[in-house]
Amino acid sequence: MYKRITHVGIAVRNAEHSSKVFSKLFGVGKEHSEEVGDQKVKATFFKIGEAGVELLEPTSADSTIAKFIEKRGEGVHHLSFEVDDIDREIARLKQEGFRMIDETPRVGADGYRIAFLHPKSTNGVLVEISQKL
Ligand code: ZN
Amino acid identity for residue 87 in this structure? D
Q: What residues does the ion ligand 1 have nearby, CB within 5 Å?
A: 9, 54, 80, 128
Going from the Cα of 127 to the center of ligand 1, the distance in angstroms, rounded, reads: 9
pLDDT bin (cut points 50, 70, 90) of residue 91 is very high
Please give the CATH superfamily to which domain 2-132 belongs: 2,3-Dihydroxybiphenyl 1,2-Dioxygenase, domain 1 (3.10.180.10)
Going from the Cα of 96 to the center of ligand 1, the distance in angstroms, rounded, reads: 23
Length of the chain: 133
> pTM higher than 0.75, yes or no?
yes
- Asked if residue 122 has pLDDT above 90, the reply is yes
Residue 33 has what pLDDT?
96
- Asked if residue 52 has pLDDT above 90, the reply is yes
Which residues lie closer than 8 Å to 123 by C-beta, 6 or more apart? none
Residue 117 has what pLDDT?
98
Signed CA dihedral, 8, 10, 16, 18: sign only: negative
* % the chain with pLDDT above 90: 93
Domain boundaries defined on the chain: 2-132
Query: What is the average pLDDT value for the chain, to the nearest integer?
Result: 96
**Strands 106-107 vs 41-48: parallel, antiparallel or unpaired:** unpaired
Residue 1 has what pLDDT?
87
Residue 37 has what pLDDT?
85
